[in-house]
Amino acid sequence: MNIKQAITSRRSVKHYDPTHTMTDDEINELMEHAILSPTAFNIQHWRFVQVQDKDKRQQIEDASWGQKQVTESSLLLILCADLNAWEKQPERYCRNAPQEVQDFLLPAIEDYYTNHHQAQRDECMRSTSIAAMNIMLMAKGMGYDSCPMDGFDFDKVAKIINLPHDHIINMMITIGKKKIEARSRAGQLALSDVFLTDSF
């Protein structure tokens, strides 16, 4: 499947075959492509929690107001981000770059994020959102369907996965083999309504 087909055919699927299991190799392939998504300063803020434990899955379904896709999907991912990744050994993020690049990037990271809490959060949300699209398109290319989710109690899910205090949750993604076709697009806006040139 080429990228155009993946984009046009990807839909948010909420009903999965609960008997289907993804192999470890498939999951690793999916996630190896997820971590190729871009991040500012190459900080790679994202952290991906795969929830396999059935009891935790049920707790998360309960915290998602009974949405069965949480327990019926082959893979449940919680996309989180480390708010303080920028200051945790930042030399890791440019260790293979030329020295002159490292000499520029490391002070730039510190200058950009120090005491800029909104920037820290915004960048985490951008980075995990970009990774989410990588995941969903890659899943489609592998023959799987997916659904991004924000319909859940974030605080409850954070407790279930023991989320560190300096991390945030962006969304969850369910992935699996669809049992029911997604509905047709409900009301796509015209390109002319959303694509502007130079100004509003």
Supply the range of the domain harboring residue 48: 3-181
Query: How many domains, the chain?
Result: 1
CA angle 136, 33, 19 (to 5 degrees): 55
Is 100 a domain residue?
Answer: yes
- Whether residue 14 contacts residue 147, with contact meaning beta carbons closer than 8 Å, is answered with yes
- What is the rounded average pLDDT of the residues 90-118? 97
**% pLDDT > 90, the chain:** 97
**Would you tell me the crossing angle of helices 24-34 and 117-141 to the nearest 10 degrees?**
130
Is 110 a domain residue?
Answer: yes
pLDDT of residue 91: 97
- Whether residue 59 contacts residue 160, with contact meaning beta carbons closer than 8 Å, is answered with yes
Is 112 a domain residue?
Answer: yes
pLDDT of residue 180: 92
- What is the rounded average pLDDT of the residues 128-155? 98
By C-alpha distance, which of 132, 141, 117 is closest to 173? 132
Cα–Cα distance measured from residue 142 to residue 196, given in angstroms and rounded to the nearest whole number: 34
pLDDT of residue 136: 98
Whether the model pTM is above 0.85: yes
Is 186 a domain residue?
Answer: no
Look up the CATH number of the domain holding residue 7.
Answer: 3.40.109.10
Is 194 a domain residue?
Answer: no
Is 23 a domain residue?
Answer: yes
pLDDT of residue 139: 98
* pLDDT tens track for 65-91: 999 999 999 999 999 999 999 999 999
